[in-house]
Homo-oligomer: A and B are copies of this chain.
C-alpha cells in the first residue's frame, strides 16, 4: 500500500523538528514536503537550519534523518495541496489562520497551532479520550465546503489533565478541577522561548493565555458530540488553573485537585486510572503507547526528568493519589505529561493515525 504523502508546514522551528522526529520510519505516513518561511525557501532543510554563526539549529534529541536533511524547503505559500494526502502544521497561530484553511480545502490538516481550536465545527482530539468527536469533521466539511478539514490538538498542558480526568469522568463523574502546573521550558519554543536569566533559580508564575486555554479545552474534550454530529456539548466540569514555568527542559508536571461525582476510595480512584484503556479504536495505533496512564507507587514520583519519556513520551504518569479532604468527594494527584511528545507533534500524528483507522481521511 502506498504511504500517505505528508507535507509539514513550519518545518524549521522546534515544533516542526518534533514532527520530523515523530514521522521518522512511520509505517504509513511519509514526509514528502517541507515548508517554512520565505527566508528558508529554496534551501535544503539542513541549510535552512544553519545560522550565521555556523551552527546547525537542530534542537530535538533525535538525530536529523539524512534523507530529511537533503530535502528542499519551500515557502508555505507555495505548498500545493494536490501534491499531498495530508498536512501537518507547526506554525504560529497567526500564520495558521492563513495557510491551514487554504490546504484544508483539499486535504486534512493536523495542527499543533491554537488558531482553530475553539471553533464550533472543529474537534479537539486526544485519541483515547474522545475519538467519538472525530466525525465532527464531516460537519466542518459540509459547512465550509472543504474536501479536507482542520483538526488541531489541544494545548500541551490540557493533554495530561484531560487524559487523567477521562477515566475518572467515566467511572465516577467529575464536577470540578483545580490544577497548578509546573511547566517545562520547551513548551515556550525558542523564539526566544524562556531566557536562561529568567528561569535559573526561579519560578515564573504566569504563562500568558495558558490558563484560559486549559479551562476551555478540558470541557470541550470531555464533552459529547451531539446526536447528528454537528456540534460538541461541553462537559459541565468546572476548571480553574494556575500555570507556572519552572527550570525543567521537557515534561509538564501538574498538581491536580478533583471533585468527583460520587463517593470513592483512594483504591478505587487508583484502579480507575490504572485500568483505563481508553477508546478501543485508539489502541494499537503506531504511536499509541501500551498504556495511556502509568500509575506509580513510589511517593516521590512522577518526576519530569525520570518519567517524561515513559512509553516514548506518549504515556501520562500519575502518582500521589490521595483524598483531598476539602472538595466534595475530593481527591488529589500529581501527573507528568511530555509536552512535546504526547502534547505536541506526536500527539498530532496520533490523531492522523486515529482518523485513518476511523476511515475519516478519505
Residues of A within 8 A of B (CB): 53-56, 59, 61, 176-178, 180, 182, 185-186, 190-206, 208, 215, 238-240, 242, 244, 246-249, 253, 255, 257, 298-306, 319-320, 324-327, 330, 332, 334
Contacts and interface: CB of A to CB of B under 8 A. Distances in A.
A144 to B, nearest CB: 32
Contacts of A242: 180, 255, 257, 320, 332, 334
Given A190-B195, A199-B196, A204 B325 contact: no
Given A238-B325, A242-B320, A299-B54, A196 B200 contact: yes
B201 A305 contact: yes
B203 A54 contact: no
Contacts of A204: 300, 303
Contacts of A247: 196, 200-201, 246-247
A55 B182 CA distance: 20
Across the A-B interface, the 4 shortest Cβ-Cβ residue pairs: A192-B192, A180-B180, A180-B255, A242-B255
B202 A248 contact: yes
Contacts of A240: 257, 324-327, 330, 332
A54 B326 contact: no
17 contacts: A178-B327, A185-B196, A185-B197, A190-B195, A191-B192, A193-B197, A195-B196, A200-B200, A201-B247, A201-B249, A202-B248, A203-B246, A205-B303, A238-B325, A240-B326, A242-B255, A242-B257
Contacts of A246: 182, 203, 246-247
A53 B299 contact: yes
Given A196-B198, A201-B201, A246-B247, 7 more contacts: A176-B326, A195-B195, A200-B201, A202-B248, A205-B300, A240-B325, A240-B332
Given A257-B240, A324-B240, A59 B201 contact: no
A179 B164 CA distance: 20
Contact of A206 (B196, B300, B326): B300
